[in-house]
Amino acid sequence: MSRIFEPTRLGALDLANRIVMSPMTRDRAGPDDVPTELMATYYRQRATAGLIVTEGTQPCPAGKGYWRTPGIHSAAQIAGWARVAQAVHDEGGRIVMQLMHVGRVAVIANRGFAADVIAPSAIACPELVPGPDGVPAACAAPRALTAEDLPALADEFAQAARNARSAGIDGVELHCASGYLVNQFLDRGSNRRDDDYGIDRARFPAMVVAALAEAIGADRVGIRISPGNPYNAMDPSDPAETFAPFLAAIDGLGCAYMHVLDMGLRDFDTLAFVRANWSGPIIANNMLTLECAEALLANGAADAVSFGRPFIANPDLVARFKAGAPLAKPDYALLYTGEHRGYTDYPAMA
């Protein structure tokens, strides 16, 4: 049997197989950013994955930048996530929540409430983000965080992790990729500070990971990175210089895993770099085929592998892989809209 179907353990998380469902924004949260019964159905349908990583979830109001993304900072949101966790656990699955604070990648109209737009430095994200009507809109100008703001912000992440655990979620994954807040601190283009948090750009990201580890146990904390990813105006020019200090700062904490979005860089072996700088388990991600995923597990480049879009149209992806069955293709027009259409209406194979 291929290693991909073997059970494994990532920190405190026992996985029935090494197939992970990667986080994907789907924009189906209800009023007040509360997870819905439809979301519970969506995740339940995909619970045969060894591990589900939820869509990016804002740890606090200022963390929201996109339309209809869920939160984990109110009692109603916690209750909504409890229904999701129960649905997944009822099917024998495991689920962790990705904590995603957008920082400067925020369109105010997407929020529906007043909240600060914050970033390491007062530099606006030049990229456009879809607004409530789907039309791309400019990101708001952020306020530069003060050094005094940062411990309290780390505490907000920690409280979000505690909220996730109180909802029955098995752990959290900190989004340190794709140009969002934690990545903004690591990146020299978005972090122009001249204080200790600019001289050592890994200082605040490491503070957040440590706060999460203290809140719920390091063995229930994963981290997602994407070295060399230019998304949301990050500087891709020197991924080792950007991420090596961060990996060194958190490696000794004993976190559950490192989830690596491999950009397939021509002159930089991302997975080899992470393996050389990180002693814990690695989940490899980004446009993997089954054959490529099996090779990464066989040669030790990764300990688990994650799939995103294949899980959208194939809720039974694990069974299809085992059977060698063809994969259905998602309706890309319904990735972020349609309620149940393009969300929970993809059938399992006959």
Burial class (CB in 10 A: 0-12, 13-18, 19+), 232: buried
* Joined tokens for residue 83: 């229904």
Would 349 be classed as within a structural domain?
no
What does the alpha-carbon distance between residue 99 and residue 82 come to, in Å, rounded to a whole number? 16
pLDDT value, residue 350: 83
Q: List residues with catalytic annotation.
A: 180
For 207, residues 6+ apart whose C-beta sits below 8 A from its C-beta are 150, 151, 154
What does the alpha-carbon distance between residue 94 and residue 18 come to, in Å, rounded to a whole number? 12
pLDDT value, residue 1: 63
Would 179 be classed as within a structural domain?
yes
Would 191 be classed as within a structural domain?
yes
Residue 129: beta bridge partners?
A: 137
Q: What is the SS3 assignment for 30?
A: coil
* Joined tokens for residue 251: 């490696």
Domain that holds residue 80: 3-334
* Joined tokens for residue 211: 């706060």
Could you tell me if residue 324 is left (phi over 0), alpha (psi between -120 and 50 degrees) or otherwise beta? left
What does the alpha-carbon distance between residue 72 and residue 78 come to, in Å, rounded to a whole number? 6
**pLDDT by position in tens, the chain (length 350):** 689 999 999 999 999 999 999 999 999 999 999 999 999 999 999 999 999 999 999 999 999 999 999 999 999 999 999 999 999 999 999 999 999 999 999 999 999 999 999 999 999 999 999 999 999 999 999 999 999 999 999 999 999 999 999 999 999 999 999 999 999 999 999 999 999 999 999 999 999 999 999 999 999 999 999 999 999 999 999 999 999 999 999 999 999 999 999 999 999 999 999 999 999 999 999 999 999 999 999 999 999 999 999 999 999 999 999 999 999 999 999 999 999 999 999 999 98
Would 350 be classed as within a structural domain?
no
What does the alpha-carbon distance between residue 143 and residue 21 come to, in Å, rounded to a whole number? 34
pLDDT value, residue 2: 87
Helices 239-250, 203-216: inter-axial angle, 10-degree rounding:
30
pLDDT value, residue 208: 99
pLDDT value, residue 106: 98
pTM of the model: 0.98
Percent helix, percent strand, percent coil in the chain, to nearest 5? 35, 15, 50
Would 339 be classed as within a structural domain?
no
What does the alpha-carbon distance between residue 34 and residue 316 come to, in Å, rounded to a whole number? 26
Would 346 be classed as within a structural domain?
no
Would 340 be classed as within a structural domain?
no
Asked if residues 20 and 53 have their Cβ atoms less than 8 Å apart, the reply is yes
Would 344 be classed as within a structural domain?
no
> What's the alpha-carbon Rg for the chain, to the nearest Å?
19
Could you tell me if residue 113 is left (phi over 0), alpha (psi between -120 and 50 degrees) or otherwise beta? beta
Tell me, what DSSP letter sits at residue 57? Answer: B
Of 283, 213, 274, whose CA–CA distance to 244 is shortest?
274
User: CATH no. for residue 237?
Assistant: 3.20.20.70
pLDDT value, residue 179: 98
For residues 224, 228, 230, 234, the Cα torsion angle rounded to the nearest 10 degrees is 80
What does the alpha-carbon distance between residue 185 and residue 129 come to, in Å, rounded to a whole number? 20
What does the alpha-carbon distance between residue 29 and residue 349 come to, in Å, rounded to a whole number? 27
Q: How many domains does the chain have?
A: 1
Asked if residues 109 and 64 have their Cβ atoms less than 8 Å apart, the reply is no
Tokens 């069974």 correspond to: 319
